[in-house]
Amino acid sequence: MLKHLIIFTLLFTNTIFANDKALKRISMESEARVALIIGNNDYDSSTLTKLHNPINDARAIRKILSQRNFEVIYIEDASRRIMNKKLKLFYKKIRNGAVGFFYFSGHGLEIDGENYLIPVDAKIEEKDDVDTDSISVDSILKKMQKAGNRLNIAVLDACRNDPFSRGSGGGLAKVEPEGIFVAYATSAGKVASDGRQGTNGLFTKHLIKYMKQDGLGLYDVFKKTRADVYMDSGKKQRPAIYDQVIGEEFFFTLPKDEHINKVVSLKNSTYFSLNINITPRDAQVFITNIKQKYYKGIKLQNGNYNIQVKRDGYLTKEGTITLRGITNIDIVLEKDEVIYSDKLHYSNQKFGKIWQDNDTGLIWQVNIDKKKYIWSMAKEYCENLIIDEKNNWRLPNRKELKTILTNKSYKNAKSLNGKTYIKNSLLKSMNMPWQYFWSETEYKDDFSWYVRFNYGSDNYNGKSSKYYVRCVVDKLR
């Protein structure tokens, strides 16, 4: 059974704080964080040059945020449609209360005082094209503000150039949104360096350095980044910071303090009540590190308690709280969409929509699109796929795709030639196995590998060829 850590909402009344820093750290470690990261290099426009390093920068930001408990939504060389789709998903997630972090690296334009981020498929020949082919920064920031979460951060490494500028300016305009932290790679109206090919841009290089520093607050991270970029650019590039945030400090990397994580015992023997409000109501609550059974309003001494909440058909949640006063916790269990059998994991809908291979742990799309795609469209199809609210699908590589092959031919399979080579547990849950499937692995030039499930082998062909698609995810979310 999958287990999720509980995010606790604590309401304290007449609380005795033995160690306020410890409580704040627990809160920061457990609060949800969601990031949307976009890197666009490959622009297809006569007015917008291809860029060297936005994808390098985006991948570097993805890595550091993933290591710091962010749920990352990530896209490269994104079209306008895909950018809008991922933005909608991002807005939905931060409305649940998560700290939001939006990062864009690529072309950005300022037209008549309004800022725009440019997708790679934008056809911008004149100023009037910008409004229809790009995405307004103001609209993104306003929707982030409306989420009602504790904190939103927007980082725009998008001040590359302005093909319509007739002066010495270019870049993006100044913006000061209320209640949100916004950082630009350079100041208003200026242009940021794209850097040397194969490296990180100047701004992102220094930003990552300070995001890794222990105990450096949000503003200080960007303040130090600004100073380094300014000096390294020969005082030509000065990042802009617009801090309109009011509230508790935010750390990418929490401060190191040997005393912060210690549980402090109070000398008195005060008892506090613990109330756990659960959904669904018939779920069971256990306190696993004491013998006493849980009941609503149970009286406990201050200290650490391991909580576990279970119900059949739902994902188990567990975590630790530090009881310092009268405490109320709301816990909502999520439905377990996966049914477990000996070797087959698939969803509880007819034939299932997803299948988990116990040999590899990979999760596979079961009911495929009966349409064939060229290689580039196959990748896009997987990136846009959503099954049971899971959106991190991708085109499998050649090695991964071959893991669902079998040495045995199933002659009664409903494939076009009367047989197929595919693991029987997956075969039983499918509506139709079909034959040739694209892999993500490129061969050379305009060729890529595909796998032939009616022969149990693989081969390569031109990317303009059309084959079927079966998408994969690394794990359930």
pLDDT tens figures, 345-382:
333 333 347 888 888 889 998 888 888 899 989 998 89
* E-strand stretches of 235-367: 240-243, 271-279, 284-287, 298-301, 303-310, 316-323, 327-332, 338-340, 344-347, 354-357, 363-365
The helix or strand, by DSSP H or E, that contains position 359, with its residue range, turns out to be none
Global pTM?
0.51
For the chain, give the mean pLDDT: 78
More reliable by pLDDT, 264 or 126: 126
Cα–Cα distance for residue pair 337/353, rounded to 1 Å: 10
Q: Is the pLDDT of residue 160 over 60?
A: no
More reliable by pLDDT, 419 or 234: 234
pLDDT in tens, 387-436: 866 678 899 999 999 999 988 887 766 554 567 888 887 877 676 656 79
Identify which of 238-242, 312-316, 341-345, 447-451 has the greatest average pLDDT. Answer: 447-451
Question: What pLDDT score does 269 carry?
Answer: 47
| DSSP-assigned letter for residue 467 | B
Question: What pLDDT score does 369 carry?
Answer: 82
Cα–Cα distance for residue pair 471/22, rounded to 1 Å: 43
Domains in the chain and their CATH numbers? 1-19+262-336 (2.60.40), 29-243 (3.40.50.1460), 338-473 (3.10.100)
Query: Tokens in use for 379?
Result: 């990748």
The residue type at 326: I
Question: What pLDDT score does 73 carry?
Answer: 95
Asked whether the beta carbons of 435 and 452 are under 8 A apart, the reply is: yes
Q: Is the pLDDT of residue 453 over 90?
A: no
Calculate what percentage of the chain has a pLDDT beyond 70: 76
Backbone φ, ψ for residue 139 (5° rounding): -65, -35
pLDDT in tens, 1-47: 333 333 333 333 333 333 444 444 545 566 789 999 999 999 877 77
The helix or strand, by DSSP H or E, that contains position 461, with its residue range, turns out to be strand 457-462
Question: What pLDDT score does 140 carry?
Answer: 94
Cα–Cα distance for residue pair 342/330, rounded to 1 Å: 35
Q: Is the pLDDT of residue 267 over 90?
A: no
For CA atoms 78, 84, 87, 88, give the dihedral sign: negative
Taking phi over 0 as left and psi of -120 to 50 as alpha, with beta for the rest, 56 belongs to alpha
Cα–Cα distance for residue pair 277/285, rounded to 1 Å: 10
What is the mean predicted confidence (pLDDT) over 86-111? Answer: 91
More reliable by pLDDT, 143 or 316: 143
- Provide the β-strand partners of residue 108: 117
Q: Is the pLDDT of residue 113 over 50?
A: yes
pLDDT band of 332, cuts 50, 70, 90: confident
- Cα torsion for 214, 217, 218, 222, to the nearest 10°? -80
Question: What pLDDT score does 467 carry?
Answer: 92
Cα–Cα distance for residue pair 376/358, rounded to 1 Å: 29
